[in-house]
A and B are shown apart, each in its own frame.
Chain A
Amino acid sequence: NAGVTQTPKFQVLKTGQSMTLQCAQDMNHNSMYWYRQDPGMGLRLIYYSASEGTTDKGEVPNGYNVSRLNKREFSLRLESAAPSQTSVYFCASSDTGIGNTEAFFGQGTRLTVV
């Protein structure tokens, strides 16, 4: 059971380059999330998808776009990377039933923008 799989695990970009972080889950979850983790800032929500075909902005959406390609996949795109986007990115998924909202996380993508 793979759970939540993120690719790549590590990436170095030059300022202005673009890239897409991929995320897939095999637990048939409705909700998927993208977070960034920075020292002293905790986990901040970038974008959220409650179900296939829907996406909502989180706390720090600027500079990012997302696509909920299907129920399994939720990608995060940086169109023009900036050094401020250097971070560790986590994808997560959860079910949406009351009392059943445990989130499962990917292993993270460590992104450095130089």
Chain B
Amino acid sequence: AQRVTQPEKLLSVFKGAPVELKCNYSYSGSPELFWYVQYSRQRLQLLLRHISRESIKGFTADLNKGETSFHLKKPFAQEEDSAMYYCALTQAGTALIFGKGTTLSVSS
């Protein structure tokens, strides 16, 4: 069965510290992997996807098929990065499945 695991419920870091939000998945086939973000009082929105191989707001995520991981990283956290982050996967024609989410708290 397809599954997305985010082992950390809460990650607290200081401003300027590196951030890594972990995501592991189990899926047969070749899924698409995403990171979604929900800022306070805002809609859930796409942060980045593995296909694009892009950096958004300083965040990057590399798909490691061997370890079935898609960890989200940022070298220097900012206070405005504080939010709930969800890892998600889908395959064309199937539903989008989310992990349980990780709350990132960045303090000064």
Contacts and interface: CB of A to CB of B under 8 A. Distances in A.
A53 interface: no
A105 B44 contact: yes
Contacts of A45: 95-98
Interface of A: 31, 33, 35, 40-45, 48, 50, 56, 58, 90, 92, 94, 96-99, 101-103, 105-108
Contacts of A42: 6, 86, 98-101
Given A40-B100, A42-B101, A101-B32, A96 B92 contact: yes
B49 interface: yes
Nearest to A94: B96
B96 A40 contact: no
Interface string B87-107: 010101101111111000000
Given A90-B44, A105-B44, A35 B98 contact: yes
B98 A105 contact: no
Contacts of B45: 105
A103 B97 contact: no
B43 interface: yes
Nearest to B6: A42
Contacts of A105: 43-45
Contacts, number: 54
Nearest to B102: A42
- Is the interface on chain B under 10, 10 to 19, 20 to 34, or 35 or more residues? 20 to 34
B95 A48 contact: yes
B43 A99 contact: no
A33 to B, nearest CB: 6
A99 B51 contact: yes
Nearest to B101: A42
B92 A43 contact: no
Contacts of A90: 44
A37 to B, nearest CB: 9
A85 to B, nearest CB: 19
B101 A56 contact: no
B95 A43 contact: no
